[in-house]
Amino acid sequence: EVQLVESGGDLVQPGRSLRLSCAASGFTFDDYAMHWVRQAPGKGLEWVSGISWNSGTTAYADSVKGRFTISRDSAKNSLYLQMNSLRVEDTALYYCAKGKYQLLLGAFDIWGQGTMVTVSS
Partner 1 sequence: DIVMTQSPDSLAVSLGERATINCKSSQSVLYASNNKNYLAWYQQKPGQPPKLLISWASTRESGVPDRFSGSGSGTDFTLTISSLQAEDVAVYYCQQYFSTPLTFGGGTKVEIK
Q: Which CB, 2 or 14, lies closer to partner 1?
A: 2
Out of 1, 41, 56, 107, the residue judged to bind partner 1 by CB under 8 A? 107
Separation between Cα atoms, residue 100 and residue 39, nearest integer Å? 21
From 12, 22, 72, 112, residue interacting with partner 1 (rule: CB under 8 A)? 112
Q: Is 108 in the site for partner 1 (CB under 8 A)?
A: yes
CA dist 115 and 5 (Å) reads: 9
- Interface positions, 12-51, toward partner 1 (CB under 8 A): 35, 37, 44-47, 50
Q: Are 33 and 96 in contact (CB under 8 A)?
A: no
Which burial class, exposed, middle or buried, applies to 69 when counting CB atoms under 10 A from its CB (0-12, 13-18, 19+)? middle
- Chain residues in the site for partner 1 (CB under 8 A): 35, 37, 44-47, 50, 59-62, 95, 100, 104-109, 111-114
